[in-house]
Structure 1
Amino acid sequence: METLVQARPLIMTLFFASLVFIGIGVFENTRIVFRTGAVTGHIVLFLFLLTESFGSISRKRSKTSRNMARVFLVLSGFVIAEILENLIMVLFS
């Protein structure tokens, strides 16, 4: 977990870069860039929420903040599970 905490600047940079890719994909009407940005954004958002929910950073947050982060982590986990399911379906179809 501490490795993820130390990588938070990179996680945040990747998140904002994925937002840029989503914007470029929509503006240029290229689905692959849009989807790549969206998938990357969801994965790094999940990692960010993981560091907010558990680890040394979460101990600095209030109990309400930690619980909210955990709720959003579960919801984000469903999105990641759907991404993995779609990836497996594409690989084996």
Structure 2
Amino acid sequence: MASSIETVQKILQETIAPSVSRIEIELAGVKADIRSLQSEIKRLDDKIDNGLSRLDARMDHLEDKLTTALEIRERLAALEAKVAAH
């Protein structure tokens, strides 16, 4: 009986153990690839965030310029109306 169990153990070790070893090696590679992808995603997120921050700043600046232009237009229209009235 012990001999049969030892034989089965030996067969399992010879057939399954190498496969498990290969799977563990491949899994380690997959984990490394995932870490690399996570780093790349983080880098891209940071790049996008920086770009959006710059875009927000530009839009704020343009909004200020537009507000100033509208105020100048209103004042000019008021002056033109006064000149036309005299």
Give the TM-score, by structure 1 length: 0.33
Task: Compare CA radii of gyration and give the structure with the larger one.
Answer: 2
Give the structure-2-normalised TM-score: 0.36
